[in-house]
Chain A
Amino acid sequence: EIVMTQSPVTLSMSPGERATLSCRASQSVGSDLAWYQQKPGQAPRLLIYGASTRATGVPARFSGSGSGTEFTLTISSLLSDDFTLYYCQQYNKWEYTFGQGTKLEIK
């Protein structure tokens, strides 16, 4: 099983700042990496797939980068709506696995 490790577990930022969330895979997953946003009581929402392609309707302030084992989700200028939970997921090898999540909180 490929283990996905996200860091930090909690990220404290202020609105308007730039946030950088990291995701590391225990072995190479190429570019088979997705990012999701989950708000309390809701299903996750796909943000990024293919490591860097924004899903339909996702604002341009969200961007993804990386390949192999190191990946980054960047939110260029935080809005209050962005302070929630984020997960990465690899789909290079079955069983697909998720990171444990990064909670983005308001400082």
Chain B
Amino acid sequence: EVQVVQSGGDLVQPGESLTLSCAASGFAVISDYLSWVRQAPGKGLEWVLVIYHGGNTYYRDSVKGRFTISRDNSKNTLYLHMNNLRPEDTAVYYCVRGYNYAYFWGQGTLVTVSS
């Protein structure tokens, strides 16, 4: 059964860092196309970044230089490393399968950036 389990969401202060995890089963993170999509509370959806199976990545401008993505093949887990967080990064972050449209979604994890 295909499944992703997300974790890592937390309340942090502006300027702090946080890492989100997306543990996969039923498919291999290393050979799949994966993305992160976020949704601010009560707001719409925003596609944050995509990683191709070959490792190429695309980041939206507002997170470039602050967010990076990595994969741990031994744990079959995708990570989103977020640095210098801003209040506008507050959102539920979804780990999704797909590099253009999202055909499978994780349950989401809430990141709150507030002083």
CB of B44 within 8 A of CB of A100, answer: yes
In the complex, 18 of the A-B residue pairs with CB atoms within 8 angstroms, ordered by the A residue number, are: A32-B100, A34-B100, A34-B101, A34-B102, A43-B94, A43-B105, A43-B107, A44-B45, A44-B105, A45-B105, A46-B104, A55-B103, A87-B44, A89-B47, A95-B60, A96-B47, A96-B100, A98-B47
User: Are the C-beta atoms of B102 and A46 separated by less than 8 Å?
Assistant: yes
List chain B positions with a Cβ less than 8 A from chain A.
44-47, 50, 58, 60-61, 94, 100-108
Beta-carbon contact of B103 and A43 below 8 Å: no
Do the beta carbons of A44 and B44 come within 8 Å of each other? no
User: Would A91 and B107 be within 8 Å (CB), given that A98-B44, A98-B46, A99-B44 are in contact?
Assistant: no
Contacts of B94 in A (CB 8 A): 43-44
Q: What is the predominant secondary structure among interface residues of chain A facing chain B? A: loop
Contact status A46-B103, CB under 8 Å: yes
A97 close to B47 (CB less than 8 A): yes
Q: Are B101 and A91 in contact (CB under 8 A)?
A: yes
Instruction: Look across to chain B and name the residue whose beta carbon is closest to the beta carbon of A4.
Output: B44
* A95 and B61 form a contact (CB under 8 A): yes
- Contact digits for A62-95, partner B, Cβ 8 Å, 1 yes 0 no: 0000000000000000000000000101010011
- Which residues of the other chain, B, contact A98 by a CB distance below 8 angstroms? 44-47
Q: Is the CB of A43 within 8 A of B106?
A: yes
Interface hub of B94, B100, B101, B108 (most chain A Cβ within 10 A): B101
